[in-house]
Amino acid sequence: MSKGHILIVDQDIKTLEHTTKTLREAGFDVVSSNHCVSEVTATVHTLPDVVVMDACRNCASRGPVRSSEHGDCVIGSIPTILLTERGDEVDHDCAFRAGVQKYLAKPCTDIELVLAIEELIMRGQAKAIS
């Protein structure tokens, strides 16, 4: 049984492949893409439990995706983890203001990412129960 449905979006193919493999081995169903979230969500049939994404610039704001003031795509009501090389305080603040629940700087450990995803899924389940 799957631990949850995860959408991974990262323009770096090596990171995308590694993250996909790690999360599948951890028991998650994974859809991955190197395209912007707005393009991917238009083609996904099942909404993910969590989105893991790198910051992408200049994405159109379509469907459940909205853009922050800096042009980064963010998923509306779906828990989102920003996995990025951007580590400045301004980037953190912008991400959280845009609705990101977790901000992980690359490189992060595999277990750190898995635990962050599990936490967000558990939060979502707790909200559904209450």
Taking residues 44-71, report their average pLDDT: 60
pLDDT at 55 exceeding the cut of 50? yes
Residue (of 69, 117, 116) closest to 90 by Cα position: 69
Bond from prior residue into 107 cis (ω within 30 degrees of 0): yes
Burial of 28 (0-12, 13-18, 19+ CB in 10 A): buried
Taking residues 63-88, report their average pLDDT: 64
- Residues paired with residue 78 on neighbouring β-strands, in sequence order: none
pLDDT at 72 exceeding the cut of 50? no
Question: What pLDDT digit, counting tens, does each position of 32-42 carry?
Answer: 988 766 556 55
Residue 78 and residue 1: Cα distance in Å, rounded?
Answer: 21
5-129 topology per CATH: Rossmann fold (3.40.50)
